[in-house]
C-alpha cells in the first residue's frame, strides 16, 4: 500500500461547479475470478484523484464534532493575501453596480413568499451564476450574502433606545426572529429548485470555509445546518452496496473520497470490491449519484491486526463459508457541507443488519481503526506528565533504557517509539510502552467530557468497545505520523451496544481485557 499524499480524511475539496459525473452511467470493467486484476483494467484511464485536505480537516468533517480548526472542513480558510495565512478573505471587489444588483436579487429571495415565481427565478439565476463563478467571485458574493443575512440586532437596539432595556431586548429579539424566518425561507427556496439540495450542500461547505473571515455568514450557515438535520434524516437515506459493476462515475468518486487509506490505483479499488469484500454507502434520493458516507468491509478468519494484509492485492480470496469476522477498515464522509449531520452510527448498524441477513453464521464485527490524535497528544506531554501516565513500574523500565535521557518528554518518547531498534529486548519495550500509552489515550483522555480521539469518540459513541491495540499495524508514513504505526480494533457486539454506550456516559468506556490490562 502506498503512503497517503496530502490527505483529507475526512474530506475532499468539493467544487461548486456543476458536476459532470452525474450524467455518466458507464459501468466499470467486469470482474474476473480471483483477486488479480483483469487485463482490461490496464486499459482504463482513471482520473488522478484530486488533492485532499489535512487530517484535522478530515476528522472535523468525518465526526462532525469540531475536530477541524475554525473556518470549516479544511482546517480553516486558505487566504490569498500575501501568503500570510491569517485566514482573512480578500474577495475580488464588485463594482457598485454589480453589488447593488446582487443585493436586490438576494433581498427579493429573502423577502418574497415561497410561491413567488419571480423570486424563485431570481434564486435559480443566483444558483446558476454562483456555481459558474470563479472562487474569488464566489467569495465576493458570500461577503454580500453575509452582510444581508447578518442578524446582529443593531436595528432592534436602535428601535428601543428611547425606551427601557426590556423594550430594546424585545425589539432586538423580534428582529432576530424575523430575520431568522426570512433566512430559512431563503434556504427553502433554493431547496425547492431542481438540483437545489446538492447546491446547498456545496454552498455550506463554502460558508464553513469562509465563516471565520465573514462572521455574518454564521447565522445563515447554522440555519442551513439545522435544516440539513431534517432533510438528511437517516430515515430518508437509502443504503446501497457499491460493487465493481457500479457505474464508473461512482467508482471514481469512491477513489476520490476515500479518507482513511488512499486508493492508489484501479487495481487497488478492484481488490477492495472483490468477492470477499463489501462496500456500502448512504445516498439521498435527491442526490442519487453522490455517496454521502461509505464503509469498506473485509471478511477474515480472525480479527485483523494490520491494514497491510487487508489491502494486499496478491492475497488469496477468503472462503466466505469459513470466515468468522467482518472488519470495517475504512469509513469516509464525502461532503464537507454536511459537517455536523451525524449518520455514521446508523450506517454501521444498518450494515451489520445487512451482513447478518446475507451471512447468518457471521457473529463477529470489529473495526481496524487509526488513532489520529495520538502523536499530537504524546508530543504535548512534559516529562512529569509522561511519567504520571506511564506509572512507576513502566517509568522505571523506561529509565533503564540507555539511549534515553533521564527525564524523557513526550516528544522524545514519540521519537524513540519510532526509532528502529536492533535488540529484541528494546523492541519489546517499545511495543509494551507504546501500547500502554495508546490504551491510556483512548480510554482516559477526554475533551469536553468525550473521548479526546475523534475516531474513538465516534465508535465508543456507537456502543463499541476498545478491544485491542495493534503495534506496527500501519507502517505507512501517515501511520507513523499520526500514531507511531499503531491501530486499534473497536468491537461491535449488537447485544451490548446500548450497555456500552451507558458505560461511556458514566465516564467508563467499555474496554476489552487486553486493553484493560494496559491502563
* DSSP annotation of 496: G
* DSSP annotation of 495: G
Residues in Cβ contact with 2 at an 8 Å cutoff, skipping those fewer than 6 apart: 262, 264, 476
As beta bridge partners, residue 326 has 299, 365
Q: Which of 210, 261, 284, 459 is catalytic?
A: 459
Instruction: Report how far apart, in Å, the C-alpha atoms of 59 and of each of 62, 125, 252, 331, 442 are.
Output: 5, 35, 22, 11, 16
How many other CB atoms are there within 10 angstroms of residue 503's CB atom? 16
Read off the C-alpha cell for 432: 509494551
Q: Which of 19, 369, 409, 483 is catalytic?
A: 369
CA angle 472, 478, 479 (to 5 degrees): 20
Look up 369 and say whether it is catalytic. Answer: yes
As beta bridge partners, residue 369 has 488
In angstroms and rounded to an integer, the radius of gyration of the C-alpha atoms of the chain is 26
* CA–CA separation, 267 and 244 (whole Å): 11
CA 230 distance to own-chain centroid: 20
Furthest C-alpha separation in the chain: 82
- Percentages of the chain per state (helix, strand, coil), in multiples of 5: 50, 10, 40
Where in the sequence numbering do the catalytic residues fall?
369, 459
Amino acid at each position: 500500500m502506498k503512503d497517503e499524499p496530502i490527505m483529507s480524511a475526512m474530506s475532499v475539496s468539493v467544487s461548486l461547479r456543476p458536476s459532470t459525473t452525474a450524467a455518466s452511467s458507464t459501468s466499470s470493467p467486469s470482474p474476473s475470478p480471483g483477486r488479480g486484476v483483469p487485463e482490461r483494467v490496464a486499459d482504463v484511464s482513471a482520473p488522478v484523484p484530486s488533492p485532499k485536505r489535512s487530517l484535522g480537516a478530515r476528522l472535523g468533517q468525518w465526526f462532525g464534532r469540531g475536530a477541524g480548526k475554525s473556518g470549516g472542513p479544511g482546517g480553516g480558510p486558505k487566504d490569498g493575501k500575501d501568503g500570510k495565512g491569517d485566514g482573512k478573505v480578500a474577495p475580488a471587489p464588485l463594482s457598485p453596480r454589480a453589488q447593488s444588483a446582487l443585493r436586490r436579487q438576494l433581498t427579493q429571495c429573502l423577502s418574497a413568499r415561497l410561491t413567488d415565481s419571480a423570486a424563485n427565478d431570481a434564486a435559480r439565476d443566483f444558483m446558476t451564476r454562483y456555481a459558474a463563478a470563479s472562487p474569488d467571485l464566489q467569495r465576493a458574493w458570500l461577503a454580500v450574502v453575509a452582510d444581508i443575512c447578518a442578524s446582529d440586532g443593531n436595528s432592534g437596539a436602535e428601535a428601543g433606545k428611547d425606551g427601557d432595556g426590556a423594550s430594546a431586548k424585545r425589539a432586538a429579539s423580534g428582529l432576530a426572529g424575523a430575520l431568522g424566518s426570512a433566512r430559512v425561507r431563503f434556504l427553502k427556496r433554493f431547496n425547492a429548485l431542481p438540483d437545489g439540495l446538492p447546491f446547498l450542500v456545496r454552498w455550506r461547505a463554502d460558508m464553513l470555509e469562509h465563516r471565520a473571515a465573514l462572521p455574518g455568514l454564521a447565522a445563515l450557515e447554522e440555519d442551513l445546518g439545522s435544516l440539513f438535520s431534517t432533510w438528511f434524516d437517516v430515515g430518508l437515506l437509502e443504503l446501497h452496496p457499491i460493487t465493481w459493476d457500479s457505474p464508473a462515475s461512482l467508482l471514481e468518486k469512491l477513489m476520490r473520497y476515500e479518507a482513511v487509506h488512499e486508493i492508489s490505483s484501479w487495481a487497488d479499488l478492484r481488490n477492495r470490491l472483490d468477492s470477499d469484500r463489501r462496500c456500502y454507502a448512504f445516498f439521498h434520493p435527491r442526490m442519487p449519484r453522490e455517496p454521502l458516507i461509505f464503509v469498506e468491509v473485509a471478511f477474515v478468519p480472525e480479527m485483523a491486526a494490520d491494514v497491510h494484509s487487508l489491502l494486499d492485492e496478491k492475497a488469496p480470496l477468503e472462503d466466505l463459508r469459513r470466515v468468522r469476522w467482518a472488519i470495517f477498515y475504512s469509513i469516509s464522509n464525502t461532503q464537507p457541507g454536511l459537517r455536523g449531520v451525524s449518520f455514521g452510527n446508523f450506517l454501521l448498524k444498518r450494515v451489520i443488519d445487512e451482513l447478518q441477513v446475507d451471512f447468518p453464521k457471521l457473529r463477529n464485527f470489529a473495526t481496524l481503526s487509526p488513532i489520529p490524535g495520538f502523536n499530537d497528544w504524546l508530543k504535548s506531554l512534559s516529562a512529569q506528565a509522561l511519567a504520571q501516565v506511564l506509572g512507576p513500574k513502566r517509568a522505571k523500565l523506561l529509565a533503564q533504557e540507555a539511549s534515553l535521557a533521564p527525564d524523557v518528554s513526550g516528544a522524545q518518547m514519540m521519537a524513540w517509539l519510532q526509532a528502529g531498534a536492533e535488540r529484541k529486548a528494546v523492541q519489546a519495550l517499545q511495543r509494551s510502552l507504546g501500547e500502554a500509552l495508546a490504551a491510556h489515550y483512548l480510554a482516559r483522555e477526554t475533551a469536553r467530557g468525550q473521548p479526546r480521539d475523534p475516531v474513538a469518540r465516534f465508535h465508543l459513541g456507537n456502543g463499541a468497545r476498545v478491544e485491542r491495540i495493534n503495534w506496527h499495524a500501519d507502517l505507512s508514513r501517515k501511520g507513523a505520523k499520526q500514531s507511531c504505526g499503531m491501530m486499534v480494533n473497536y468491537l461491535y457486539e449488537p447485544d451490548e451496544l446500548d450497555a456500552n454506550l451507558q458505560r461511556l456516559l458514566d465516564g467508563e468506556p467499555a474496554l476489552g481485557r487486553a486493553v484493560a490490562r494496559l491502563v
